[in-house]
A and B are shown apart, each in its own frame.
Chain A
Amino acid sequence: MSARADVETLRGKFADAVKETVEFRGEHTLVVALSALHEVLAECRNALNYEMLLDVSSLDHFGEDPRFEVVYEMASLDDKRHLRIRAAVSEDEEAPTASDLWQAADWHEREVYDMMGIRFSGHPNLTRILMWEGYPFYPLRKDFPLAGRPSEMPDVAFTGVAPLEGGPFVTSAGAEDTVRREPRSKAFD
């Protein structure tokens, strides 16, 4: 068995849910519909024996609809097969939890919720994990400024705005010469 064969198996079984498959330098990615996400993950866990969930992460395609994407990275226990599954989530949708399949998903999904604000339905304890309960923002969203926003929770925590002195300074990868690749300040809203 290989990850490529697993992709074909999944594509055969969930023909109408799989939107796209990507192979890039030996990494296999499956893009599926959100409605079938939990079924596909369960198939990976139970039938295809991906015992380990390596990471759950998320993307913010700000300005597009659906806005977010959740990404599940998994591997078999002998580390011979790696698979990545992505699903688009719009702002008013909830992603199904994978914590019933992998215990590891519990904290990863809490982190995604904390940083990006994607909610997971069926999660046993969907609370903030890095910031404190009551913090009003989701700091890894594209429309959240790097400097932060002021917030105040008496006796718990407060936040302020960091001085960026003209920043953030961003490199332009792939620019013609080193002068243009240097970190420069760019205008953000």
Chain B
Amino acid sequence: MTETTTTPLHAAYDSKIEGNVIFTRVDAAINWMRKNSLWPMPMGLACCAIELMATASSRFDISRFGMEVMRFSPRQSDVLIVSGTVTYKMALAVKRIWDQMPEPKWCVAMGACASSGGMYRSYAVLQGIDRLIPVDVYISGCPPRPEALIEGLMKLQRKIETEESTVAQKQQFFDELPS
């Protein structure tokens, strides 16, 4: 007769845990979580929005990268994808939506119009959304293919990896302490 159940000799030591522990920095862990769960705010203003919709749907499927949770409320999202022509009439509305998004937040200028005004060198069009809000990634194209948008968002992921979020937060915490 062989005994099938054995009790460990040392209760404090579990050999299974040994392989499951990783050492990392808090920044790296937080960035890893953030970059793999981007919640985009789709700011669809022109034909780029059609490509944005194609990107989100099944053929291109950005949920492979954890970016599929499009929220139509700025308060629930952290990536503003400005896709399309920003007219002066719309510009302050885009700014207002950006201001309503909670930190940390990033902005992607999708396509020629959002990046630089594109072919609209005219009285009615803002010559690039970076004149109003800070932009992290510019995507070229008129409109860009969904692959280009995915590439841009992956570039944004690379950028998020390098951020020092807790260091900055700590600095702000110390700055705000009454001395």
**Which residues of A pack against B, CB within 8 Å?**
130-132, 137, 139, 144-149, 155-160, 162-165, 167-168
User: From residue A167, how far is it (CB to closest CB) to chain B in Å?
Assistant: 7
**Which residues of B pack against A, CB within 8 Å?**
88-89, 91-92, 117, 120-127, 131
Closest to B96 in A: A155
Q: How far is the CA of A45 from the CA of B123 in the complex (A)?
A: 37
A162/B127 contact (C-beta < 8 A), A146-B121, A147-B121, A167-B121 known: yes
CB contacts (< 8 Å) of B123 on chain A: these are 137, 139, 144-149, 159, 162
User: Which 7 residue pairs are nearest across A and B when measured between Cβ atoms?
Assistant: A148-B123, A162-B121, A159-B88, A139-B123, A157-B88, A164-B121, A162-B127
In the complex, the answer to whether A156 meets B122 with C-beta atoms within 8 Å is: no
CB contacts (< 8 Å) of B91 on chain A: these are 157-158
Of the listed residues A137, A139, A162, A164, the one surrounded by the most CB atoms of chain B closer than 10 A to its CB is: A162
CB contacts (< 8 Å) of B131 on chain A: these are 160
CB contacts (< 8 Å) of B124 on chain A: these are 131, 139, 148, 159
Choose from A130, A148, A157 the contact partner of B122 (Cβ within 8 Å): A148
28 A-B pairs (CB sep. < 8 Å): A130-B89, A131-B89, A131-B124, A137-B123, A144-B123, A146-B121, A146-B122, A147-B122, A147-B123, A148-B122, A148-B124, A156-B92, A157-B89, A157-B91, A158-B88, A158-B91, A159-B88, A160-B126, A160-B127, A160-B131, A162-B117, A162-B123, A162-B125, A162-B127, A163-B127, A164-B121, A167-B121, A168-B121
User: From residue A155, how far is it (CB to closest CB) to chain B in Å?
Assistant: 7
CB contacts (< 8 Å) of A162 on chain B: these are 117, 120-123, 125, 127
Q: How far is the CA of A160 from the CA of B89 in the complex (A)?
A: 12
User: From residue A29, how far is it (CB to closest CB) to chain B in Å?
Assistant: 30
CB contacts (< 8 Å) of B122 on chain A: these are 146-148, 162
User: From residue A7, how far is it (CB to closest CB) to chain B in Å?
Assistant: 38
In the complex, the answer to whether B89 meets A132 with C-beta atoms within 8 Å is: yes
Closest to A168 in B: B121
CB contacts (< 8 Å) of A164 on chain B: these are 121
CB contacts (< 8 Å) of A160 on chain B: these are 126-127, 131
Closest to A144 in B: B123
- Additional A-B contacts beyond A157-B89, A160-B131, A167-B121 (20; CB < 8 A): A131-B124, A132-B89, A139-B123, A139-B124, A144-B123, A146-B121, A146-B122, A146-B123, A147-B122, A148-B122, A148-B123, A156-B92, A157-B91, A158-B91, A159-B123, A160-B127, A162-B120, A162-B123, A162-B125, A162-B127
User: From residue A92, how far is it (CB to closest CB) to chain B in Å?
Assistant: 25
CB contacts (< 8 Å) of B117 on chain A: these are 162
User: From residue A74, how far is it (CB to closest CB) to chain B in Å?
Assistant: 29
A155/B121 contact (C-beta < 8 A), A160-B127, A162-B127, A163-B127 known: no
CB contacts (< 8 Å) of B120 on chain A: these are 162
CB contacts (< 8 Å) of A165 on chain B: these are 121
Q: How far is the CA of A149 from the CA of B129 in the complex (A)?
A: 18
User: From residue B67, how far is it (CB to closest CB) to chain A in Å?
Assistant: 32
User: From residue B28, how far is it (CB to closest CB) to chain A in Å?
Assistant: 42
Q: How far is the CA of A99 from the CA of B19 in the complex (A)?
A: 79
